[in-house]
Amino acid sequence: MSADSGNKPPDELDLLVGSTVAGKYHIDRLIGRGGMGAVFQATNAAIGKRVALKFLGAQTSRDSDAATRFQREAEAASLAESPHIVQIFDSGQSEQGLPFLVMELLTGEDLRARLRREGRLDAETAVRIGSQILKALRQAHGAGIVHRDLKPDNVFLCRHEDEPSSVKIVDFGISKVRQQPGVDTLTHKGTVLGTAFYMSPEQAQSFPDLDGRTDLFSVGALLYEMLAGQPPHSAPTYEAVLIAICTRDAADVRALAPDVPEKLSRVVARALRRERDERYESAQDMLSDLEAALRDSRALSTKTRAASGAWLNAPKRPGAERYRTLVFAVVAALGGFAVAAYLIARGRGASLEPVTASAPTSASAGPQPLASSAGAPAPAPSAATLASADIAKARPSPATPRSREPKPVVKKAAPAGSAGVAGTLGLSTREP
């Protein structure tokens, strides 16, 4: 049942779940519903195969144009056989007179859902999706079919075990099938068919002679949105979007996504040319350039990685990790030694500042000054020296001295003829 079924009486589509259509298709569940109809999962009771049934609603089926488009979708998909176009197996009417198509059941999500979730795609993913769309168009255009409504909603990303991103184009409902020259039963004078953001200028202006190049413009718009995260033309209204498409060139995709390879941006720009004669002539031509752009991008990326440090990705040799660890340890140790030496030298240099103090009174206070080589007696202390000694004795000791810490050392002048520790380390004993 649809999400809005509580706001209106159920119609014929709401009552289909659980019923059997055409004597063999058992309707299992609703997959999705739109303005023209709904899609259900069903099972072919004869062979047990799961399929998708697409129905037109009762009111829509009374519209001659809608009924014609519905039939056109079946014809176009059958004519353009491709692994990248949804398969249609059968068509018919339900017991209530509702037209339906029997299609392959796809598992995955459409490109619109993917872009809503991720915003934008990387270049390789975008090219892979675009390439499969172009392969589908190559078959369709070869069969004389122009899709005319390529948009993210009509690009389905299938999930398979062997190919996670297989692409299927769906909904050929407004496609143009080659009939008599100049005849299109769906296009009336002044009617614009398609979705504005992805529509070519000639389609926006309802040119009667549309060809495959209008689809190539749409592929360019899809690539642009996948790479940049937004369509190439935006405006607040449908009409304003059409005017922008017809009057303004799209900005360079690299202005919004600088990481897009330059060659890929040129492919997108050519597909979006307003003059169709300046675009690619065929889906195959665009496909060739798109795949070449991807190859060049991969080659450039490989060279860049090699130049910037491929050793990071190289296979590890035996002992290489141990060698790197040893090198880092040695460097760290040297750095520690250098810092320690600097701090020691700085501390010793500060301790050797000349300070006038009295001689120690006992042997336990420290070594006595050495006598001169002539054996002369040590000079008597001066008054200034005695005053300094009194000041040193008067200084208060720490409140809670640690038992193992040395007592405050009274600084004294270096003995004559000797540089002491400073001389051994090659340091100057002069006042800086």
More confident residue, 175 or 108: 108
Residue 320 φ then ψ, to 5°: -65, -40
Q: What CATH number has the domain bearing residue 211?
A: 1.10.510.10
* Beta carbons within 10 angstroms of residue 398's beta carbon: 8
Express each pLDDT in 325-375 by its tens digit.
777 777 788 878 787 777 787 776 655 555 444 444 444 444 444 444 444
Quickly state the pLDDT bin for 69 (edges 50, 70, 90): confident
Residue at a domain's end among 53, 84, 104: 104
The per-residue pLDDT for 250 is 93
Residue-range definition of the domain harbouring residue 196: 108-298
Q: What CATH number has the domain bearing residue 42?
A: 3.30.200.20
CA distance 275 to 264: 20
> Rounded to whole angstroms, what are the CA distances from 59 to 31, 62, 118, 216?
20, 5, 37, 34
More confident residue, 35 or 44: 44
Q: Tell me if 277 is assigned to some domain.
A: yes
Nearest to 230 by CA among 200, 250, 202: 250
Taking each helix axis from N to C end, the angle separating 262-271 and 213-228, rounded to the nearest 10 degrees, works out to 140
Which range has the top average pLDDT, 77-81, 292-296, 401-405? 292-296
Q: Tell me if 402 is assigned to some domain.
A: no
User: Considering only 19-23, 136-140, 228-232, 369-373, which range has the smallest mean pLDDT?
Assistant: 369-373
| Domain identity same for 292 and 166 | yes
| Domain identity same for 94 and 115 | no
CA distance 130 to 218: 11
Residue 53 φ then ψ, to 5°: -110, 125
Nearest to 130 by CA among 198, 80, 52, 32: 198
Q: Tell me if 93 is assigned to some domain.
A: yes
In angstroms, how far is CA 55 from the centroid of its own chain?
A: 38
CA distance 419 to 153: 90
**Residue positions annotated with a catalytic role:** 149
| Domain identity same for 181 and 242 | yes
| Domain identity same for 30 and 121 | no
Domain count, the chain: 2
The per-residue pLDDT for 81 is 79
| Domain identity same for 174 and 245 | yes
Q: What is the mean pLDDT of the chain?
A: 75
- Residues 269-283, mean pLDDT to the nearest whole number: 95
| Domain identity same for 96 and 223 | no
Tell me the pairing of strands 37-44 and 49-56: antiparallel
Q: Tell me if 376 is assigned to some domain.
A: no
Residue at a domain's end among 232, 267, 298: 298
The per-residue pLDDT for 370 is 41
Decide if pLDDT at 52 tops 50.
yes
| Domain identity same for 88 and 180 | no
Q: Which residues of 103-117 are buried (b: 16+ CB within 10 A; e: fewer)?
A: bebbebebbeebbee
Express each pLDDT in 406-427 by its tens digit.
555 544 554 444 445 445 445 4
Taking each helix axis from N to C end, the angle separating 262-271 and 283-309, rounded to the nearest 10 degrees, works out to 160
Q: Is 87 exposed, middle or buried (0-12, 13-18, 19+ CB in 10 A)?
A: middle
CA distance 18 to 76: 30
User: Contact at 8 Å (CB) between 72 and 140?
Assistant: no
| Domain identity same for 164 and 286 | yes
User: Considering only 22-36, 81-95, 167-181, 417-431, which range has the smallest mean pLDDT?
Assistant: 417-431
